[in-house]
Amino acid sequence: MRSREAWLETAPPAGVRVRAAHVGGVEGEWLEPRDARADLLYLHGGAYVVGSPATHRMLAGAFCSHGFRVFVPHYRRAPEHPFPAALEDAESAYRGLLGAGLDPRAPAIAGESAGGGLALSLLLRLREAGGPLPPSAALFSPWTDLALSGRSIQANDEAEALFFKDNLPGIARLYLGGAEPRTPLASPLYADLAGLPPLLIHVGEREILLDDALRLAERARDAGVEVTLKRWPVVPHGWQLLQRIVPEAAQSVAEAAEFLRAAAGRRAPGGRPAGMPAPETAE
């Protein structure tokens, strides 16, 4: 799998095997530790226009050190494939995990930035369809409002180290492809959030997407959703990608992994035993 940003590709952590696969008809990669105890669908960020499983091997692979086998789909991206293509691929991949014989309670969902917003949109899509929901989701600095109404977009622009306000309108237009910015499945901040599983939200105090996360947490709690929100000082947007150089990156993933495991344990016993082979997928 070669992406348009091959120069950004990263190696997985030591001891993690990378295996190309198709799940639910969607190309992607499995990242597999030696002893997986649970499965995770990880949706990568990149503002819906860049990013791939290869650029996120270090971040997704960090979950492997906490006992997760991780599938990262290479979902379609804008501008060639605007909304709802990425959401359709995320849903296909998740249903592919279920159809491969996994316990429907087992796979959790996580993602950062656009991938965090996409993870939330996937939960909404699954809820609407009446299908099984994952036991929990971990959202790192999720982009939830493509209408760009958060005050932190202006207030934190000079403090932000990666994602800048002047770039957002053009990127949002590419992804929306003519859809209204407050369309709930594109901007899940405007959705009815009732009935969603527990959410963990991590966001940096200096990010321009700070208000996307804070308003999401407030709306979710008002809808009766269990929310664990943590605000991190002095970290850049997408700091979880910097596993080797930012201590808070490993800490954030460790806390998310513990949250996902705990939520799965509260949901119901069972799930696939450790050491059971991964689902059969086309190479």
Is 207 tagged catalytic?
Answer: yes
Give the distance from CA 77 to its chain's centroid: 15
- The reply to whether 66 belongs to the active site is no
**Triad 107, 137, 193: Cα angle to 5°:** 120
Q: Which of these is catalytic: 44, 74, 202, 237?
A: 237
Cα angle: 37, vertex 38, 40; to 5 degrees: 145
d(CA 283, CA 256): 30
Angle at 40 between CA 143 and CA 46, to 5 degrees: 30
94-121 residues labelled b (16+ CB within 10 A) or e (exposed) = bbbbbebebeebbbbbbbbbbbbbbbbb
Tell me which of 92, 113, 121, 152 is the catalytic residue. Answer: 113
Instruction: Judge whether 81 counts as a catalytic residue.
Output: no
Say which of 32, 152, 207, 252 is annotated catalytic: 207
Determine whether 166 is exposed, middle or buried from the number of CB atoms within 10 Å of its CB (0-12, 13-18, 19+). Answer: exposed
Residue 84: asked if its preceding bond is cis (omega within 30°), the reply is yes
Peptide bond connecting 184 to the previous residue in cis, omega within 30 degrees of 0? no
Residues 115, 117, 122, 125, CA torsion sign: negative
Provide the annotated active-site residues.
113, 207, 237
